[in-house]
Structure 1
């Protein structure tokens, strides 16, 4: 091909057709330039295609992280709402106690663990470390960086508050307060404090009551703050998820619809199925072959969600009662049923449920403690 064009140029020069030669030369140059531009365009197109593929892969990884974080936050919000409600009930109950010992024992109602939060931020942090985060458009990049800041702030604050809470609980423990089951026990008394050795354990009830009450008040205040922060974080993740999903041309379903597995009872409930319909649905299932998760734990999870998050204890009671019928030999179903009854103020039937749970599992510490409290109240 090169020889062919060279021959044309030589023939034009021999024939002294200089004008035509220059026209031809210019045309040839233009063709070469066009060829180079086309090659560059193809190369750029390939590079953009590769870059977009990498970007979409990162987006997909981020979406998976966001889905897990959304579920984590939903779960924590539910737990926090439960803890806050229990603490509000405890405050009123605590003030009505006629003895310090009874007041301390009332703290068994409270949930001690503060709980850490570990978000799934590996993809975003990896992008930042490798510098690939620059591949992401600035407005999305800034949102991702803000999300990391929010998550780190929540996690670090929770950890600091947990350490402070445990420190106060340890002070109570040195006076004989058992952090495991929160009963005063002689063997818990710390012998390393000579001054306290001269005291009877009963002499510490007042100080223990004040320390424990203050510790849980501190915990409650911080849980309220964390709850509001997580609700804001949940909305932020929801918005970010939608933005990234739009970049993926709507590849994923809405984040609400993927919060629970499609074969879970929670999914059926979030899809609008009533409690009665879900119970009827469970009854129709073959336990050995159903694709749906109808385990006692799954049914319990639905009950607690309705009781604590949806704030419908009467509907939750239907779920817990059904669970005791569906799994009559499972001690935990009766324990949860008793908890819901107690929450609704039906102490008589709650006692029956807890006794049944204890009958099925004599080591059920929760049932032992609750029944002891209720017995103490009746004295």
Structure 2
């Protein structure tokens, strides 16, 4: 093809048809430019097609990751609500100031030392964001949903961190100096412990302001934690719905 064009140019120059040659040269340049533009267009189309395929693959993997995670969060809510209920019961017993009622603390105080941590993380979702694919999402509602989910995750993890620090810095030191933990540990942990140790005088907790405030703070934190985990589940389900519509 190049040889053909070269031959045409040579013929025009030999015939001294400069004007015709210039017009031909301009036309040849135009054809080359059109070819380049078409090649770029095809390349862009292929690139967009590849990106869309990668986006869809991420959407499918994110849906799978979330669908696996939701039941885990739901089970955690059930278990953590049991801890919340026991801490409420502790406050009711402390408030009664009745010696016989205070003895029932042996069945509830163990919840004070329970600090379960989820450490919420989504590897596929993090990979999706860190790879820059979030900027390629065209659906404004979907993009906003990703931001909302990320915000809930960050705040929930901050509460998670606080719960662990609350236990290590406040609750555990109090328990160590105040009473025999084995005597009040929840049933699920009893098989890990050795029965025995000094008996607990439960009347010592009557008018114990430190214990009252500690359980109250614990109740507040765990209640807030459950609220945000439920919000997280709601955001996850909402994101799944939008992703599934994008895949249709």
TM-score (norm: length of structure 2): 0.72
- Structure-2 residue corresponding to 1:188: 197
Secondary structure, aligned partner of 2:119: coil
- Structure-2 residue corresponding to 1:337: none
- Structure-1 residue corresponding to 2:173: 167
Q: Give the superposition deviation at 1:145.
A: 4.1
Alignment coverage as a number of residue pairs: 234
- Residue 150 of structure 1, aligned match among 146, 149, 155: 155
- Structure-1 residue corresponding to 2:240: 241
RMSD (CA atoms): 3.6
Q: Give the superposition deviation at 1:133.
A: 5.0
The alignment status of 1:99 with 2:99, answered yes or no, reads yes
Which has more helix, going by share of residues? 2
- Structure-2 residue corresponding to 1:58: 58
- Structure-2 residue corresponding to 1:218: 217
Distance 1:131 1:226, change over 3 A: same
Distance 1:93 1:156, change over 3 A: closer
TM-score (norm: length of structure 1): 0.51
Give the Cα–Cα distance (whole angstroms) in 1 for the partners of residues 211 and 183 of structure 2.
9
Q: Is the 8 A contact 1:90 1:110 kept in 2?
A: yes
Q: Deviations over 1:70-109 (max 9, x none)?
A: 3233223333334444544555466557425x52334415
Give the Cα–Cα distance (whole angstroms) in 1 for the partners of residues 61 and 195 of structure 2.
54
Unaligned runs of 5+ in 1: 190-200, 251-379
Alignment of 1:112-151 (within 5 A): 112=111, 113-127=114-128, 131-132=131-132, 135-137=135-137, 139-140=143-144, 142-143=147-148, 145-151=150-156
Unaligned runs of 5+ in 2: none
Secondary structure, aligned partner of 1:167: helix
Q: Give the superposition deviation at 1:36.
A: 1.0
- Structure-2 residue corresponding to 1:207: 204
- Structure-1 residue corresponding to 2:40: 40
Q: Give the superposition deviation at 1:221.
A: 2.1
